[in-house]
Amino acid sequence: MEKPLTHHIRDDKRPLDLKEYEKVGGYEALRKVMKGMSPKAVQDLVKESNLRGRGGAGFATGLKWSFVPMDVPGPKYLIANADEMEPGTFKDRILLESTPHQLIEGMILSAYAIQADHSFVFLRWAYKTAAQAITQALREAYEAGYLGKNILGSGYNLEMHLHTGVGRYMCGEETALLNSLEGKRATPRAKPPFPQISGLFGKPTIVNNVETLCNIPHIVNKGSDWFRTLSRTTDTGTKIYGVSGKVKKPGAWELPLGVTMRELIEEYAGGMQDGVKFRGALPGGASTDFLVEEHLDVKMDYTHVAQAGSRLGTGTLIILDDKTCPVGFVQNMEHFFAQESCGFCTPCREGLPWVDKILASLDLGEGREEDLKLLDFHTKYLGPGNTFCALAPGAMEPLQSALKYFRKDFEQHVHDHRCPWKENGHR
Amino acid sequence: MLSTAEIHEIEEAIKVVPVKKAACIEALKVVQAHRRWISDESLKDVAEYMKMTAEELDSVATFYNMLFRKPVGRHIILVCDSVSCWVMGYDKLRDQLIQKLGIKYGQTTPDDRFTLLPNCCLGTCDTAPAMMIDDDLYKNVRIDQLDDILKKYS
């Protein structure tokens, strides 16, 4: 089983420096491209590879790039979205901390493909180890002539900077990220125009997730046909999956796209802890719909998870067990979303705190019959098309699916005037 | 008044962006790094330097979780309260910290040593429960480790 993104990561997770990265084939893709591949050829290769964005939305990377106008003069930007903050998600951290040069090489190649001349790593403030690793790697890359003017004698110039954020979930949304980089509140922008046309400082801009960018050197080196053989399904490549919750060995692993949820939980995460049973899981962070026991054999790729009624999202499972209250579980996330709403559009600003309060009252045993209808109402009116960006619709995904799969538990909270889990000394 | 060192660091940040105002978050970070938090006085100084109104800059400063507009202690404790840590019982850790320090979320100990804050997912969900103190990340935190951990921060 090939693990292009992580096979070279050290056991102790310390970052590979430039020499070590070069020893495992690092910057060969950059040499190959600078020697004579056109930007268009790089774009076409990535298109053929069928690589889809690993940040959550799963948009085709090559297609995204192709919307950048190539003939306009003036600056263009390439940004690595390293603002990993989706609850339950810890996959980009591994790449950022342990193999920073892989990200930088992926960024240079991607920037070249759209002929960007400036690039930023937008890094989450909490990732202190990653910030050190990237700072060091950037210095080395500049010294080696991989960044700056006339990269490897090709005539291509690229500047790259690290920007560490100041904490707001909204910064993960690409247009809000751009506002933040411009020194503004991280509120989302109206689309169109899409960032590919008018992004950072009004210039053409591509924002890609860290894991997405890390794939690019390998696709350049080994080709799109090779990339398509990595997965078990028609969605191509590997994925860094993760599992958290009450399993024996929580962790993250790079695996072929299309492994099943059962394999992830049983083979990689060591199965459920003794004394607890699996009840459900969010397949890709807090803003995805629950999958339950009947979905254990669903292939964890974009297509199959969507067919099962959820989204692959970030590919990091959060497990709900039978000793944990689904109402409390969802309330924790809705509280998060309510706090992190930027307050820019009314349904999200007003609706999410309402949902949070209803769930909190259910948890305290103060829920009323009509509360479930109110929750149902919100799942529709905070859903797609009714809010400015995807935050509130994302927040509704775990709620609507919890109301579907665990409705009896919600009803029991109302009828018994208490949380049955708390009564039994559980969560 | 901004110090020479602060002005130097802010100027470095301005170099990276095409519009001066775009470096205003960096400027606030610089001031916070030097003074722990951003007072009204500091905010006005930064605004003047960045050619912004204080109101405009404050609308940015108050938006972000990690820019402190109120005084904080010498060390900041951030307890992860997101879903994986919730499942793994972060609340016991939170309650112990509240008890040991004698303060609630958002408060600072009378000796100015610690400020206790809740925090969204720290991105280490496989080692929940987690917390950060200043730049240090603590994983799989057990309550019986707390005394030894806190001891490191004077």
Does B147 lie in the same domain as B82? yes
Does A301 lie in the same domain as A360? no
**pLDDT confidence band for A139 (50 / 70 / 90):** very high
CATH code: domain of residue B34:
1.10.10
Residue contact A342–B63, C-beta within 8 A: yes
A 326-345 near B (Cβ less than 8 A):
328-329, 332-333, 336, 339-340, 342
- Between B16, B60, B120, which is nearest A161 by CB? B16
Q: So what's the pLDDT on residue B145?
A: 97
Interface with chain A: mutation pick from B57, B82, B105, B131, highest number of A CBs within 10 Å:
B82
Contact with chain A for residue B133, Cβ under 8 A:
no
| Sign of the CA dihedral running A286, B85, A278, A267 | positive
Q: So what's the pLDDT on residue A61?
A: 98
Mean confidence (pLDDT) of chain A = 97
Q: So what's the pLDDT on residue A423?
A: 73
Residue B24 assigned as binding residue: no
Mean pLDDT of the A254-279 span: 98
**Residue B15 in domain:** yes
Residue B80 assigned as binding residue: yes
Mean pLDDT of the A254-277 span: 98
Residue contact B29–A85, C-beta within 8 A: no
Question: How many structural domains comprise chain B?
Answer: 2
Cα of A299 to nearest chain B Cα, Å? 22
Mean pLDDT of the A393-406 span: 98
Does B79 lie in the same domain as B49? no
Q: So what's the pLDDT on residue B26?
A: 97
Residue after which a domain boundary falls, among A170, A201, A229: A229
pLDDT tens profile A21-63: 999 999 999 999 999 999 999 999 999 999 999 999 999 999 9
Does B44 lie in the same domain as B96? no
Range of the domain at B42: 4-61
Length of chain B: 154
**Residue B68 in domain:** no
Does B47 lie in the same domain as B85? no
A118 with A76: CB under 8 angstroms? yes
Q: How many CB atoms lie within 10 A of CB B5?
A: 11
- SS3 readout for A210-221: HHHHHHHHHHHH
Question: How many structural domains comprise chain A?
Answer: 3
**pLDDT confidence band for A422 (50 / 70 / 90):** confident
Cα of A337 to nearest chain B Cα, Å? 10
Q: How many CB atoms lie within 10 A of CB A109?
A: 26
Does A154 lie in the same domain as A77? yes
**Residue A31 in domain:** yes
Q: Which chain A residue lies closest to B132 (C-alpha atoms)? A: A126
Range of the domain at A168: 18-229
Residue after which a domain boundary falls, among A267, A301, A321: A321
Residue contact B28–A244, C-beta within 8 A: no
How does DSSP classify residue A393?
H
pLDDT tens profile A178-222: 999 999 999 999 999 999 999 999 999 999 999 999 999 999 999
Interface with chain A: mutation pick from B21, B31, B85, B120, highest number of A CBs within 10 Å:
B120
Does A84 lie in the same domain as A213? yes
A321 with A127: CB under 8 angstroms? no
Q: Which residue has the tokens 């919730």?
A: B86
Residue after which a domain boundary falls, among A321, A336, A360: A321
**Residue A9 in domain:** no
pLDDT tens profile A59-93: 999 999 999 999 888 899 999 999 999 999 999 99
Does B115 lie in the same domain as B84? yes
Residue contact A88–B83, C-beta within 8 A: yes
Q: What is the pLDDT along chain B (154 residues), one digit of tens a residue?
A: 999 999 999 999 999 999 999 999 999 999 999 999 999 999 999 999 999 999 999 999 999 999 999 999 999 999 999 999 999 999 999 999 999 999 999 999 999 999 999 999 999 999 999 999 999 999 999 999 999 999 999 9
Q: State the virtual CA torsion across A15, A19, A24, A28 in degrees, nearest 10.
A: 120
- Between B19, B126, B135, which is nearest A250 by CB? B126
CATH code: domain of residue A265:
3.10.20.600
pLDDT tens profile A323-340: 999 999 999 999 999 999
Residue contact B128–A320, C-beta within 8 A: no
Report which of A76, A72, A154, A160 is spatially closest to residue A115, judged by C-alpha positions.
Answer: A76
CATH code: domain of residue A372:
1.20.1440.230
Q: CB under 8 Å to A138, separation ≥6 — which residues? A: A104, A147, A160, A161, A162
**Residue B67 in domain:** no
**Residue B69 in domain:** no
Burial readout A324-351 (b: 16 or more C-beta within 10 A, e: otherwise): bbbbbbbbbbbbbbbebbbebbebbeeb
Contact with chain A for residue B23, Cβ under 8 A:
yes
Q: How many CB atoms lie within 10 A of CB A120?
A: 25
**Residue A13 in domain:** no
- Between A90, A161, A182, which is nearest B125 by CB? A90
Does A46 lie in the same domain as A180? yes
Residue contact B86–A328, C-beta within 8 A: yes
Residue contact A201–B19, C-beta within 8 A: yes
Cα of A221 to nearest chain B Cα, Å? 31
**pLDDT confidence band for A1 (50 / 70 / 90):** confident
Q: So what's the pLDDT on residue A73?
A: 87
Does A352 lie in the same domain as A263? no
**Residue A222 in domain:** yes
Cα of A203 to nearest chain B Cα, Å? 11
Does B104 lie in the same domain as B56? no
**Residue A145 in domain:** yes
**Residue A5 in domain:** no
